[in-house]
């Protein structure tokens, strides 16, 4: 099994569908194995290495842009992120002597990322009276697919198909990269500027890259409407909120099919496209600030709503998709081969209905809600039919099982192969019925019934009957007990047996209505207990489980959005103090990541570490993690 490249020390700037990734020192220099040795092409690097590059869609186009001043590499000093897709790299050229022992030459590189265009400006300042300057940038392009990068497998650099003294052009199928540096392109895919600098007389140079992919399924979204916060928080919370909203602006995408409907890419670098579950949850959290994003997300997913039955794609009539890509996704290390439009998610459809109902309840976009009612009818029909065959162990519950052998074996948000375990570490067999999905389904049925009544749409009674039966069956089948008391199991396995270890899934049940007041109290207490609450967030799985490991993707780590959903549910149930405790834990964790929230971090308790410990392969920014800042602020009393 190949370990994914580490990301936690990388610097990135995103303006969907374009990404810039620099290494820990601010260099764009290819990739490296775990030893740090450079790897730019060929076979797999040692697991746990890093990568850099300019990416567009699902492809790294530019893999190297190495900077030299008078033949010397600047020594990195700082890398600073600014709003609007800017990374500023400050370095010193120590090999050029000055009149004292102090370094005499500073180079500041400013990368500015916008959709499809990346500018790189270089500003050289010196304390010397006069200095003859040569700045050189050595370039390489390799057009490596994202799936190959995840395995640390990189293509050999490609030759430009066209070049002159101002422009270099590369092409790979429908993907193109154009580097423009008027009058500065030299042989060997180099950019060279020469001139004179002196004290008070800096030397400046700039080039830009234009990236395009005519075959990609996604495009840049229209600009976002301005957001307002009624009472702007200060301090760490204000920093987290500002950083998160800036990150979210860089994740806005649209599809070629519905180019005027924005949604949020799930996350960088691997999930820079439409994911039903991720995009829906992010839009739900952000609804108080951006109703247009909610409407765009709903419209986009409705455009790809299932119309037929296709087991290879897990498509069913009325079902909402899981992910969208331009071509088949192949991840050899995980045994996955997913078609470009893949529906392998059991929760996207009820979450779509929940967001539509919440948009309707808000009264912020009546026209969008009305236009989507036909899609809601089809999604509701899927929901009513998804309860499993009568007589099966999990009849009456939404469940899943991959029918292909190369799709996702787990189709809830914890979708890694080992995510569903019993206390003793045994893996659960399918079909699996997840607890949180039953909560989503209950909420979707009740709120969609209300929506149908409000808009004069028939079918509400069938949804209410479904919800009532689901609630009764859930209470009878999902609740289990250990020495800490009663709690809802993470799931039922294919034999109908409940997974007998507490997990964070139970936090998603809060606020859905499937729990009564006493049950919600039990869940709140368990979430804040020592086996689930780390002090920084909620463990995905209890520390008492045999399979617990703090660096496991889904079996012991802490996910930012998962913890925020628990806080959101606690608020909805009226547990204000508990919600604030969890929110304060996430806020404290964000301090370890530059007042930002990554996809996940290691499940090391606060009592064992003075700051949150990174999960090295964690994506950042991640849409639902960044959107979690809004929930944190709400739990701490901020009104939007």
545 closest CA partner among 528, 532, 534, 562 = 532
Rounded Cα distance between 578 and 576, Å, is 5
Q: What are residue 360's phi and psi, to 5 degrees?
A: -65, -40
The owner of tokens 């292909």 is: 404
Give 211's contacts (C-beta < 8 A, 6+ positions apart): 18, 54, 56, 61, 62, 116, 117, 118, 175, 176, 177
> In angstroms, rounded to a whole number, what is the distance separating the alpha carbons of residues 250 and 282?
14
* The two structure tokens encoding residue 72: 């010397």
Question: Do the beta carbons of residue 537 and residue 524 sit within 8 Å?
Answer: no
Q: What is the mean pLDDT of each run of 10 residues along the chain (640 residues)?
A: 78 97 93 44 46 95 97 95 94 91 95 98 97 98 92 92 96 97 96 97 98 95 72 89 96 97 96 97 97 98 97 97 94 87 98 98 96 98 86 90 93 96 95 98 98 97 97 98 96 96 97 98 97 98 97 97 98 98 98 97 96 96 98 95
The yes-or-no answer to whether 11-213 and 218-635 have a common fold is no
d(CA 337, CA 602): 28
The whole-angstrom separation of Cα 614 and Cα 551 is 9
* 51 touches 19 (CB < 8 A): no
pLDDT given at position 224: 80
For residue 435, count other CB atoms closer than 10 A to its CB. 26
pLDDT of residue 99: 85
Topology of domain 11-213, CATH: Beta-galactosidase; Chain A, domain 5 (2.70.98)
Residue range 218-635 forms a domain whose CATH class is mainly alpha
**Spatial contact of 141 and 155, defined as CB atoms under 8 Å apart:** no
CB 8 within 8 A of CB 23: no
Q: What is the pLDDT of residue 404?
A: 93
Give the 3-state secondary structure of residue 168. Answer: strand
Q: Rounded to an integer, what is the distance from CA 189 to the centroid of its chain?
A: 34
- Residue owning tokens 């001043």: 69
Q: What is the pLDDT of residue 233?
A: 87
* Domain residue extents for the chain: 11-213, 218-635
In order of 120, 170, 185, the CA distances from 194 in angstroms are 17, 25, 12
């Amino acid at each position: 099994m190949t370990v994914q490249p580490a990301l936690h020390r990388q610097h990135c700037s995103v303006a969907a569908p374009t990404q810039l990734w620099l290494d820990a020192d601010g260099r764009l220099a290819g990739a490296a194995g775990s030893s740090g040795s450079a790897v730019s092409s060929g076979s797999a690097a040692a697991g746990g290495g890093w990568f850099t590059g300019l990416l567009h869609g699902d492809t790294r186009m530019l893999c190297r842009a190495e900077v030299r001043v008078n033949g010397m590499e600047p020594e990195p000093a700082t890398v600073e992120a600014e709003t609007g897709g800017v990374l500023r790299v400050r370095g010193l050229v120590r090999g050029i002597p000055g009149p004292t022992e102090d370094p005499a030459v500073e180079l500041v590189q400013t990368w500015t990322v916008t959709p499809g265009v990346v500018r790189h400006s270089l500003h050289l300042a010196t304390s010397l009276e006069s200095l003859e300057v040569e700045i050189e940038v050595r370039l390489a392009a390799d057009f490596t697919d994202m799936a190959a990068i995840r395995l640390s497998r990189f293509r050999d650099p490609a030759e430009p198909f066209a070049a002159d003294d101002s422009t270099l052009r590369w092409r790979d199928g429908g993907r193109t990269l154009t580097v423009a540096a008027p009058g500065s392109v030299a042989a060997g895919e180099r950019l060279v500027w020469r001139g004179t600098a002196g004290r008070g007389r800096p030397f400046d140079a700039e080039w830009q890259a234009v990236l395009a992919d005519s075959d990609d399924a996604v495009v840049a979204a229209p600009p976002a409407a301005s957001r307002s916060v009624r009472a702007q928080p200060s301090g760490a919370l204000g920093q987290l909120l500002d950083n998160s909203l800036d990150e979210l602006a860089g994740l806005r995408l649209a599809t070629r099919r519905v180019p005027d409907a924005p949604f949020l890419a799930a996350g960088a670098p691997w999930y820079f496209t439409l994911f039903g579950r991720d995009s829906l949850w992010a839009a739900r959290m952000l609804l108080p600030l951006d109703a247009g994003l909610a409407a765009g997300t709903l419209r986009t997913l409705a455009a790809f709503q299932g119309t037929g039955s296709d087991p290879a794609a897990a498509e069913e009539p009325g079902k909402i998709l899981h992910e969208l890509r331009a071509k088949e996704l192949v991840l050899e290390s995980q045994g996955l081969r997913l078609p470009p439009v893949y529906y392998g998610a059991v929760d996207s459809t009820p979450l779509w209905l929940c967001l539509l109902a919440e948009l309707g309840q808000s009264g912020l976009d009546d026209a969008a809600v009305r236009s989507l009612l036909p899609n809601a009818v089809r999604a509701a029909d899927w929901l009513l039919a998804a309860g499993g065959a009568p007589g099966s162990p999990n009849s009456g519950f939404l469940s899943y099982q991959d029918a292909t052998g190369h799709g996702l074996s787990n189709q809830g948000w914890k979708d890694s192969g080992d995510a569903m375990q019993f206390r003793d570490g045994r893996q659960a067999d399918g079909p699996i019925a997840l607890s949180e999905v039953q909560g989503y389904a209950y909420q979707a049925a009740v709120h969609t019934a209300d929506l149908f009544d409000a808009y004069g749409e028939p079918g509400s009674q069938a949804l209410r009957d479904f919800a009532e039966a689901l609630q009764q069956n859930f209470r009878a089948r999902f609740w289990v007990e250990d020495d800490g008391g009663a709690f809802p199991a993470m799931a039922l396995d294919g034999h109908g047996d409940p997974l007998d270890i507490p997990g964070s899934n139970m936090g998603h049940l809060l606020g859905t209505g499937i729990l009564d007041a006493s049950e919600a109290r039990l869940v709140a207490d368990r979430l804040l207990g020592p086996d689930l609450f780390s002090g920084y967030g909620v463990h995905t799985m209890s520390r008492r489980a045999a399979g617990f490991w703090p660096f496991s993707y889904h079996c012991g780590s802490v996910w930012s959005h998962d913890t925020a959903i628990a806080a959101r549910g606690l608020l909805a149930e009226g547990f204000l103090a508990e919600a604030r405790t969890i929110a304060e834990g996430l806020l404290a964790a964000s301090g370890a990541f530059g007042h930002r929230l990554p996809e996940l971090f290691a499940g090391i308790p606060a009592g064992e570490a003075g700051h949150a410990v990174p999960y090295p392969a964690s994506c950042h920014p991640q849409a639902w993690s960044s959107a979690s800042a809004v929930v944190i602020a709400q739990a701490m009393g901020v009104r939007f």
